[in-house]
Structure 1
Amino acid sequence: MVVLATAEEWSSLTSLLQKSSGDNGYQMASKSLGSKQVCDLMLEDHSISLHFAELKEDMPQEDMSHAIDDCFKSCRGGTSVFLLLIHGGYYTEKEKRMIEILQAHFGVEALKYVVILSVEDGKVIEALDDTLVDLINVCDGRYCRITTSTASGGLHALHEMVNNVVTENSSAGYTEGMLAESKKRSTEDSAMNMLRKKVQEAEEKEQAFMEMLQEQEERRAREMEELKARHAEERQKEAAEKRRHETRRESLQEAVSSHRSMLQLHLKAPDDDEAKKISVVLLGLSGSGKSSALSLILNREGNRYLSNGPGHDPVPPTVTCERKEMSAGGRRLVLVDTPELWDEDGVENVELVKDCLALALPGPHVFLLVLQVGRFTQGESEMLGHLQKIFGRELAEHAIILFVHFDGNQYRPQRINDYVSGAHPSLQELVRKCGSRYLELNVTRAVSALSYPQVKELLSGIHKLVASHGGRSFVVRRFSPQELQERNKMIAEWKEGSQEGNYLLRHE
């Protein structure tokens, strides 16, 4: 029998057998065969020969397989059975490893020829480990115990189990032919495993190659999409740049055309420099105070202020566009008063618009949006929209809101900043759209002398706004400078004819 055990377990077994030999009906003889130890046991009419080679726990698998194989070869001539020694019923990791190596070297069939012997000369486990029970079942229940007092009985049971192995397998135990067949299968299995490994490696390489191809395709697709996106972005930039260039070119052409027109007007001016005048247009609803504000501004030129009067004289509604001039800051200032330029349905009066722009030549430069303090109606909230439809959306960039306060106004005068900050949101939005440029003008006669600083501040604001636009006038593209110039001549001729008629009527 080939003993699978460590030196400690082998020593426990031989010590137990030595103590019990003679008186228990068996004889024991030990000898050494090189590195192996042999224990011969004589039981009445039969014998058991135990062959042992020390199996250390840290022994490499190959060395342990070689040691077991040497013991197996030394058993020639007898029944070859494998005896697994455990101590006190404990099935530890070292015994499990021995069984694994046994199967690896001798094949799974070797378990048919395994007998498990528990040497119990000390502490004994109460319940067998589940893995040991499983192994016993695989070995068809070949498990026996041996103690000092039952050594003979244990050996007889061991011999009986060996006979059962032979009977059940119809052989003389595990043979060299079985070992050769196991090695052959192992070699075939190794070759098959190697082949499987190579096939697996080839499949893995193929899969890796396919994944690499897919990744390359995906990368190329992404690069193509990115390239398309860059090309599209570049085309958009080129188109935007082209549009900006066209807009700039049109603006330059328009500026050149406007400059030429203004230059022609300048050359045709008889006495003064017409092109250097600043033109201001007063816009607003009827009754907002445009004409009253205009009168106060014109009075500022000659410092003509009234005081302590009962109130301002009523100003008749403006029905036509009127042009006034004054000097301010060393330059001539053109002031154009206007009636409402649209009717109740929001339809513009084109003729009045032409008159307004013609009289505002060489401008307009600034638009004064006149609002009465304390009055902000639906019509006034829509005023900027109407004006932008008439003159263009850029009008707000050239506009100043002028708040006018009258004697009869029910609102007590307050700081204009406080008035705006507490005003209706629609009025605040109007102020915001006009760049938050707003001033006030008090046309109350009782304090008209005190309005001088307000007029001065208004004129200063007009000059600053004109300077911020480089002195350029506001261009209304719907009418050409030539058309407005002809309109201006026509208005002048009409006024001249009207004045002559009035003169003749007065002297008839």
Structure 2
Amino acid sequence: MVVISAVEQWFSLKSLPQDTSEEKHSQLTFSSLGSIQVCDLTVDGRLISLHYADLKQDMTEEGISQALEGCFKSCTDGISTFLLLIQGGYYTKRERRMIEILQAHFGAEALKYLVVLSLEDGNVADTLDDSLLDLINMCDGRYCRIPSSAAGDKLQALLEMVDYMLSENGVTGYTENMLAEASKRNTEDSAMNFLRQKVQEAAEKQQAFEELVRLHEERRAKEMEELKAKHAEERKKEAAEKKQYETKREGLEEAVISHRAMLHLQMSAADDDDTNKISLILLGLSGSGKSSALNLILERAGNQYSINESGHGPPQSTLSCERKEVFAAGRKLILVDTPELWDEDGVEDLELVKDCLALSLPGPHVYLLVLQMGRFTQGECEMLGYLLKSFGRDFAEHAVVLFVRFDGNQHRPQKINDYVAGAHAALQGLIQKCGSRYYELNVTTSQNALSYPQVKDLLSGINKLVASHGGRAHTVKRFSVQELQERKKVIEEGKDGALEVNSLLRDA
């Protein structure tokens, strides 16, 4: 018999009391067969050989299977059966594992040839465990108890139980053919289990893939919903911004229309009220920057900003007198640009003098004597004398000196006060005769922002000068007001005619 047992139960079997009577109905003899321990049990002349391999607790399933198979193959001289040793009716987890390995390796047929033997010495279970009862049922009730006090009688019962088992299941016991069949089934079962495992793994992978696809689709659907919501929100925001822009634009258009209407009313009122007008004549040599200064004053006084600053570049020659108007600070500001009013010999052009005075009506209130900063020529030194002859001896009382600064004059612009302090004595004398009234104006593209406060200061100085004369315009006695008004009318009619001719030429 192949003994299935822990080492403790094997030692309990070896410790059973020997029969000391003269008849010696039972006898236990122990020996070894290599690594296999053998117990020869003799009962009434019959011999049962018990083969045991040490099944250590830390052995693997394969190790236990090989040990049991080694015991089985060592039983070559007799009928092979199996004997499970337990202690005191207790069926432990370790012993259940051994039976599971027995069934797995030797097949279910092994239970037909299994006897459960309980060695009882001391502690005995009151009731049998359910798992032990199940095993006993599978073994057709082959459960034998051997207390140490009556070992001889119970060993006889064990032999009778073995005989009955063989008569019921076959006298040959468990054979090599059965083991081969079990091994074959195990191989087939292993292959099937392997195949099932692979199928299960494939199914799990398929399920995982489908789950991944599902999650991906859900995430994609969620992202699409979020994207749609985002686009809808953006469209809603754009619509709101567009509506706000349209509302603002309409408001601005209304404000512009209202402002234009107000300006028109103010300009109309100013046209009727000469006391609400200030007229300036810009005078100077050719190239001094009169036109550039005039254009910049128009822009800044009217709170305009020109994107194209080319009009403030190097001075261009002016060929005739021109009148420009702008409404600033509740008053109409009239600026008259002039060419050079005298030739190289100092002879004045009387028609130009009359034109600039006519265009400045109801002025002039102030004369702007324009000088290019960094340049003071002999002609400019003599200029004041020519102007006194043309506009009267009190000309300087209504004059303001305006220094114009262009790009390229200096890398580091000199302060106007320092410039005047270090200027030629003739220039200083000119400024003094004009009441020391001087201002500067940057018409440079690099320092364009400076022109805002400069124009403001210039207009403030002009207003003070006009106020000092009681708001009255300067009178040039050599021309009557009626003569100048007629001259202005002729100039305006000629200008309108020229515009009409140009329009006809364009239409043609």
Indicate if the aligned counterparts of 1:79 and 1:172 stay in contact, CA closer than 8 A.
yes
Q: 1:20 to 1:6 in 2, by over 3 A?
A: farther
Q: Mapping of 1:374-393 within 5 angstroms?
A: none
Per-residue deviation, 1:134: 2.1
Which residue number corresponds to residue 220 of structure 1? Answer: 220
Q: Mapping of 1:194-273 within 5 angstroms?
A: 194-269=194-269
CA distances 1:358-400 after superposition (whole Å, capped 9, x unpaired): xxxxxxxxxxxxxxxxxxxxxxxxxxxxxxxxxxxxxxxxxxx
Indicate if the aligned counterparts of 2:113 and 2:165 stay in contact, CA closer than 8 A.
yes
Q: Are 2:43 and 1:51 equivalent residues in the alignment? A: no
Letter in 2 for 1:160: E
Tell me the SS of whatever aligns to 1:131. Answer: helix
- Paired with 1:13 and 1:237, the residues of 2 have a C-alpha distance of 93
Per-residue deviation, 1:3: 0.8
Deviating more after overlay: 207-216 vs 112-121: 207-216
Indicate if the aligned counterparts of 1:20 and 1:148 stay in contact, CA closer than 8 A.
no
- Paired with 1:123 and 1:213, the residues of 2 have a C-alpha distance of 62
Q: 1:21 to 1:134 in 2, by over 3 A?
A: farther
- Paired with 1:20 and 1:132, the residues of 2 have a C-alpha distance of 34
- Paired with 1:273 and 1:58, the residues of 2 have a C-alpha distance of 122
Q: Are 2:190 and 1:190 equivalent residues in the alignment? A: yes
Tell me the SS of whatever aligns to 1:122. Answer: coil
Indicate if the aligned counterparts of 1:3 and 1:51 stay in contact, CA closer than 8 A.
yes
Indicate if the aligned counterparts of 1:85 and 1:116 stay in contact, CA closer than 8 A.
yes
Letter in 2 for 1:265: L
Which residue number corresponds to residue 6 of structure 1? Answer: 6
Per-residue deviation, 1:45: 4.4
- Paired with 1:20 and 1:100, the residues of 2 have a C-alpha distance of 39
Q: Mapping of 1:288-437 within 5 angstroms?
A: none
- Paired with 2:148 and 2:204, the residues of 1 have a C-alpha distance of 60
Gaps of 5+ in 1: 275-508
CA RMSD of aligned residues (A): 2.5
CA distances 1:305-360 after superposition (whole Å, capped 9, x unpaired): xxxxxxxxxxxxxxxxxxxxxxxxxxxxxxxxxxxxxxxxxxxxxxxxxxxxxxxx
Tell me the SS of whatever aligns to 1:41. Answer: strand
Letter in 2 for 1:194: F
Q: Are 2:124 and 1:129 equivalent residues in the alignment? A: no
Indicate if the aligned counterparts of 1:83 and 1:115 stay in contact, CA closer than 8 A.
yes
Indicate if the aligned counterparts of 2:19 and 2:27 stay in contact, CA closer than 8 A.
no
- Paired with 1:45 and 1:22, the residues of 2 have a C-alpha distance of 14
- Paired with 2:275 and 2:102, the residues of 1 have a C-alpha distance of 121
Tell me the SS of whatever aligns to 1:16. Answer: coil
Which residue number corresponds to residue 284 of structure 2? Answer: none
Which residue number corresponds to residue 178 of structure 1? Answer: 178
Which residue number corresponds to residue 102 of structure 2? Answer: 102
- Count of aligned pairs: 275
Which residue number corresponds to residue 111 of structure 1? Answer: 111
- Paired with 1:93 and 1:272, the residues of 2 have a C-alpha distance of 124
Q: 1:224 to 1:149 in 2, by over 3 A?
A: closer
Indicate if the aligned counterparts of 1:113 and 1:173 stay in contact, CA closer than 8 A.
yes
Letter in 2 for 1:11: F
- Paired with 2:89 and 2:218, the residues of 1 have a C-alpha distance of 64
Indicate if the aligned counterparts of 2:81 and 2:174 stay in contact, CA closer than 8 A.
yes
Indicate if the aligned counterparts of 2:19 and 2:25 stay in contact, CA closer than 8 A.
no
Which residue number corresponds to residue 76 of structure 1? Answer: 76
CA distances 1:386-437 after superposition (whole Å, capped 9, x unpaired): xxxxxxxxxxxxxxxxxxxxxxxxxxxxxxxxxxxxxxxxxxxxxxxxxxxx
Q: Which has the greater radius of gyration? A: 2
Tell me the SS of whatever aligns to 2:57. Answer: coil
Q: 1:185 to 1:237 in 2, by over 3 A?
A: same
- Paired with 1:80 and 1:250, the residues of 2 have a C-alpha distance of 111
Q: Give structure 1 regions of 4+ aligned residues with deviation exceeding 4 angstroms.
A: 19-24, 268-274
Indicate if the aligned counterparts of 1:24 and 1:152 stay in contact, CA closer than 8 A.
no
- Paired with 2:126 and 2:23, the residues of 1 have a C-alpha distance of 29
- Paired with 2:57 and 2:19, the residues of 1 have a C-alpha distance of 27
Which residue number corresponds to residue 452 of structure 1? Answer: none
Q: Are 2:159 and 1:159 equivalent residues in the alignment? A: yes
Indicate if the aligned counterparts of 1:266 and 1:273 stay in contact, CA closer than 8 A.
no
Per-residue deviation, 1:143: 0.9
- Paired with 2:169 and 2:259, the residues of 1 have a C-alpha distance of 122
Indicate if the aligned counterparts of 2:9 and 2:85 stay in contact, CA closer than 8 A.
yes
Indicate if the aligned counterparts of 1:21 and 1:28 stay in contact, CA closer than 8 A.
no
Query: What is the TM-score normalised by the length of structure 2?
Result: 0.50
Per-residue deviation, 1:196: 0.8
Per-residue deviation, 1:194: 0.7
CA distances 1:173-198 after superposition (whole Å, capped 9, x unpaired): 11111111111111111111110111
Gaps of 5+ in 2: 277-508
- Paired with 2:222 and 2:29, the residues of 1 have a C-alpha distance of 84
- Paired with 1:17 and 1:104, the residues of 2 have a C-alpha distance of 35
Identity of aligned residues (%): 62
Q: 1:226 to 1:21 in 2, by over 3 A?
A: farther
Query: What is the TM-score normalised by the length of structure 1?
Result: 0.50
Per-residue deviation, 1:144: 1.1
Indicate if the aligned counterparts of 2:26 and 2:42 stay in contact, CA closer than 8 A.
yes
Indicate if the aligned counterparts of 2:19 and 2:26 stay in contact, CA closer than 8 A.
no
- Paired with 1:267 and 1:28, the residues of 2 have a C-alpha distance of 143
Indicate if the aligned counterparts of 2:84 and 2:117 stay in contact, CA closer than 8 A.
yes
